[in-house]
A and B are shown apart, each in its own frame.
Chain A
């Protein structure tokens, strides 16, 4: 028994050191009510808790989103992010919920010349908010986002992959972050991997990329520069994705890129 306890103690020390050595930037930090499926097992998280949470987890930065953009409306969700502004550390940026620019709709939406200073990405929910991911609907939005290098965020369950393939090909300079939530991205991987192979402007967020050896496979096939760390907290445990990364058999440089450098580079390129 004592040798087992020694092994555990050693593993704890090694994992702590590995986590502390990486400057994690969380692309998936969420306020708002938990999604229905996750609600029974999720904690609650509000803007007031962001700074303390980041310190306790050793996070160096984050992209903050809200579920209210989906559960209520894009405008209500964006309003919550705006309200949170004064409570957030400087290292936290936001992802607003967008809609097609035409027909114009009232309320707080990300628009050309009116992008909030903390906003570093736009998330679309094409399935839930009822529009196709097609250039004849989203062309003006995509042109603007491409022009200022503002990344597009998409949950994999919210898009048709054929539509996304066509869209990413149509806008090859638009950075797209395909998110592995809210269901695990395991099931459509045969399609997703072909999508990534065909569209170099698509990056993958890894909070629910849990197939055995998936991080190593991704780095081998697509390169570490296209994988980004996210936690999906509070609907998922951050140590899941952190653990998959620190235990991955990849280079130290690759680990640094995935932990935070890729996302910092991406948002650093946004011309606000």
Chain B
């Protein structure tokens, strides 16, 4: 890859408790980005922020942004169980140059996506021009908490906050949630999807060509858990035009996150 231009719109940093991970910090991420022609990443976000709250992890994210020469942008987090505190902190750090959105994670925070306790973050994202990102997945026999993030559960918020740019991470997963996510992104102007995670669906990028064309589908890897290379060859060899590949790999993320 001669000119690095790719934007990986879905990465994480931090040690993983539940499984072996060899690459975990920003320095390792930058090495991986350099080896694959990835110009920028969006961190969604470090494990400390996800598990303890933004006040515990966002300083490190801003530091990673600076030490990576402003290549690793990031999101804050909102846990509905500590919503007031989290929003007060996010308000304080508004304007930091690397801060681009807010991540919510219904299965990890154990609160269903349609619970009223999420309303403040939908409003906050709308008022402040931040992207709101949520983990989304399908029903899973081995991980029942995934049902808290079924894409259809978000539809009420999507309708109520049409100015909130809402990104469904993992495009609803591999099972029945995927069709829900595709429907919502196709029907609503403010809904976007990324391909992060093990959603290695045969022919997926061609099937979702219409979402690439409308700026709705973004490349993301889910590094530290997934290797960006798992999607890159599939994208490059898909029956898409060069422009469509560029939009999927970089252009759509640059527009959504307002990246340079």
Contacts and interface: CB of A to CB of B under 8 A. Distances in A.
B226 A240 contact: no
A212 to B, nearest CB: 4
Query: Which of A7, A43, A183, A249 is packed against the most chain B CB atoms within 10 Å?
Result: A7
A212 B246 CA distance: 23
B230 interface: yes
A189 interface: yes
Contacts of B175: 37-41
A233 interface: yes
A186 B233 contact: no
Interface stretch (A8-16, A66-74, A135-143, A168-176): A8-16
Contact of A233 (B3, B198, B202, B224): B202
Contacts of A268: none
A187 interface: yes
A107 to B, nearest CB: 28
Contacts of A39: 175
A43 B202 contact: yes
Interface string B140-174: 11100000000000000000000000000000001
B189 interface: no
B227 A244 contact: yes
B187 interface: no
Contacts of A9: 242
B27 interface: no
A189 B2 contact: no
Secondary structure at chain A's binding surface: helix, strand, loop or mixed?
Answer: helix
Given A240-B234, A243-B233, A210 B1 contact: no
A5 B247 CA distance: 11
B232 interface: yes
Interface in A183-205: 183-184, 186-190, 193
Contacts of B3: 3-4, 6-7
Contact of B233 (A37, A212, A214, A247): A247
A81 B204 CA distance: 28
Interface in B221-252: 223-234, 236-237, 242-243, 245-246, 249-250
23 contacts: A3-B5, A4-B3, A4-B5, A5-B246, A6-B3, A7-B3, A10-B1, A11-B1, A12-B237, A15-B236, A39-B175, A40-B179, A41-B201, A210-B227, A212-B23, A212-B32, A212-B228, A233-B202, A236-B202, A237-B201, A237-B202, A240-B233, A247-B233
Interface of B: 1-3, 5, 18-23, 32, 35-37, 138, 140-142, 174-176, 178-179, 198-204, 223-234, 236-237, 242-243, 245-246, 249-250
Interface of A: 1, 3-12, 15-16, 19, 37-43, 183-184, 186-190, 193, 208, 210-214, 217, 233-240, 242-244, 246-249
